[in-house]
Amino acid sequence: MATASKLRTNRRLPRQAARQRRDKEKETQIRTAEFNGYGFLKTGFQPLTDTIHEELKCAGKIEREFSNSLSNLAALYGFQPLDVTGKVFPYNILLAYRHAVEQVKKINPHLQLIIIQDKEHAACLATAKQMDTAATLYYVPVRPLYELLQDRSNKKSAELLLSVYTYLYQVAGIPYYRDSSSYMYYTYEMMEEWVKDNPTDWDVDDFTAQVSCFNSLSYYGDIIKRKIHNPYNLQQFEKRVRSYMPATTDEDRLHELSRKFLTLYQQFPNRSIMDNIHDRIIEPQKDERIYPDQYISFYWDYKDCLYQSLFETVNMELQEKEVTEEPLSIQLFDRPQEKIQTHEMEFEIRFFDLLHELNDLL
């Protein structure tokens, strides 16, 4: 197997504003009126109750749930909640929340304190820690597997790699580029339409080569999809790892990497990389977001004539986004908690490290 060193140098996105997005919240400045002849101009007024935003209309339920979760949080972190008696809604929530944020930061400055509002919660406090994926595209090429399967002299290696890919697709949940709902399917389709709709923009040889690449990635990609969709390859995963006898340095690396994936699968048999990626938990007010299937995916090849165009297209689109939906560890305080969660995200860290190793091997 050839090492895909080219992939690592091209798969990193430019650092974008989203990576500096965790700015401290700016405090509102209170300005004194220049003309102070009237006493009421010196008086501070509490904000009016919000009646516009839909999420604030159930004031009683929000206050009860927030107060309950705040009590659970304070009990675990050992601080006294701020007394907001007499403050109007939702200003009372804001003051109590800001105070709680300060207390949590004293214990762990890397944690975020957020308010969860979903189908089960009206306003529940939770601590959260987001994994930094380092603006990396975790793209796994399919063509190396296809070519290995065609080489009868490497049957055992091909079957072992096939089990790894089957795990990544069926269990770990990496989107496949021939699934019509995937981001990569849409990207390839858009690129193909652009090429075929503008044949005069290319010389004859380049146009023919690109059309051929699109035909190959579709036809052979569907063949591999049927194979990794077969549960038999997952059932044989452990047997293939145990019986494999490497004879070369590359085969030894493949064996060791497959063993690591198998161990991860056995320790986290039902865990998908998508399980801890939640929509709009962090900075929900921002609409320009990078979603997981945009930076985690199977794709066709790292050495065909479409590779450069593919990554330029992806980079151009994603570098304009403000927020990346990354793995997020959350501890809810809708009920009393026995201990502070470590938020280590062991599965996600090991999984992404193994994807790096896999891409280097291929």
* pLDDT tens-place string over residues 8-57: 333 333 333 333 333 434 443 433 334 344 443 444 445 544 454 565 66
Q: Which residue has the higher pLDDT, 353 or 19?
A: 353
Which pLDDT score is estimated for 54? Answer: 60
Which pLDDT score is estimated for 118? Answer: 87
Average confidence (pLDDT) over 305-312 = 94
What separation in angstroms does the CA of 198 have from each of 149, 210, 213, 325, 330? 35, 12, 16, 35, 48
Average pLDDT score over the chain? 87
Which pLDDT score is estimated for 58? Answer: 81
Phi, psi of 329 (to 5 degrees): -95, 130
Which pLDDT score is estimated for 55? Answer: 58
Residue 6 has pLDDT above 90, yes or no: no
Residue 69 has pLDDT above 70, yes or no: yes
The DSSP call for residue 136 is B
Residue 122 has pLDDT above 80, yes or no: yes
Which pLDDT score is estimated for 254? Answer: 98
Q: Which residue has the higher pLDDT, 308 or 22?
A: 308
Amino acid at 67: S
Torsion angle of alpha carbons 146, 7, 282, 313, nearest 10°? -90
Residue 361 has pLDDT above 90, yes or no: yes
Interatomic CA distance for residues 356 and 346, integer angstroms: 16
**pLDDT tens digit string along 123-170?**
999 999 999 999 999 999 999 999 999 999 999 999 999 999 999 999
Name the packing angle between helices 204-228 and 155-170 (round to 10°). 80
Residue 308 has pLDDT above 90, yes or no: yes
DSSP characters over 248-306 = SHHHHHHHHHHHHHHHHHHHSTT--TTTT--TT-SSTT---EE-HHHHEEEES-SSSTT
Which pLDDT score is estimated for 65? Answer: 97
Residue 4 has pLDDT above 80, yes or no: no
- Residues contacting residue 273 through CB under 8 Å, at least 6 positions apart: 172, 173, 174, 292, 296, 327, 348, 351
Percent of the chain's residues with pLDDT above 90: 80
Average confidence (pLDDT) over 219-245 = 98
User: Nearest-CA neighbor of 258 among 149, 142, 357?
Assistant: 357
Which pLDDT score is estimated for 292? Answer: 97
pTM: 0.83
User: Nearest-CA neighbor of 12 among 136, 134, 133, 184?
Assistant: 136
